[in-house]
Chain A
């Protein structure tokens, strides 16, 4: 969905480095999410935010942190990257005023940790 953008699209880094992945949206949605995708495992929720002051851990938050700088911006940080964090990372948004929590996804960031 072009209304949800992620930067960078690809990143190669080394073990121990700090990495930030950024997500911006122009959909006006209040809820934002970070997922990681690993082959054969589907999508796993890392963190989610219902508004700027409401941030919550998902299924696999260890080793990650997030910041909701504004309603439209939600960044994911890896404080000290490790190789098993190599994955495809997706940001998603949804609108709490809609009843069904349909989520809209960004194009993804492919992260490789060497």
Chain B
């Protein structure tokens, strides 16, 4: 079985400061990892993914995420937070094995960027 944990329900950060949203995962094989963002009254929007290769993945809106296999983590980061980054963030994982299709989502982390 695969699972995702987002240990923080809410993260508050001052505008201009760096932000980190944490995610840890569990899969039996190699992971495919994803971050999505949900703005109020909107669907989930894809931010970035890790499939293989470089452990630092860059995505939309200046976000990046670092894959750490030994810690089974995939934390989302941004060097300088904007008020417009305030949203709900979801981490998701899928096993890379053949025939695997299902994404498992974390419970989400609400990010609030304070002006």
Contacts and interface: CB of A to CB of B under 8 A. Distances in A.
A100 B51 contact: yes
Contacts of A41: 107
B105 A42 contact: yes
B41 to A, nearest CB: 8
Contact of A102 (B49, B90, B108): B49
B45 A1 contact: yes
A103 interface: yes
B53 interface: no
B46 A104 contact: yes
Interface stretch (A13-21, A69-77, A105-113): A105-113
A86 to B, nearest CB: 16
A66 B9 CA distance: 32
Given A31-B101, A40-B107, A100 B49 contact: yes
Given A43-B90, A102-B46, A104-B46, A48 B107 contact: no
Interface residues of A, number: 23
Contacts of A107: 41-43
A101 interface: yes
B34 interface: yes
Interface of A: 1, 4, 31, 40-43, 45, 48, 50, 58, 90, 92, 99-108
Given A48-B101, A102-B46, 17 more contacts: A40-B9, A40-B107, A40-B108, A41-B107, A42-B106, A43-B44, A43-B105, A45-B102, A48-B102, A50-B101, A58-B102, A90-B44, A101-B32, A102-B34, A105-B43, A105-B44, A108-B42
A-B pairs, top 3 by smallest CB distance, nearest first, are: A105-B43, A42-B107, A105-B44
Interface of B: 9, 32, 34, 36, 41-46, 49, 51, 90, 94, 101-103, 105-108
16 contacts: A4-B43, A40-B108, A42-B108, A90-B44, A92-B44, A100-B32, A100-B49, A100-B51, A101-B32, A101-B94, A101-B101, A102-B46, A105-B36, A107-B41, A108-B41, A108-B43
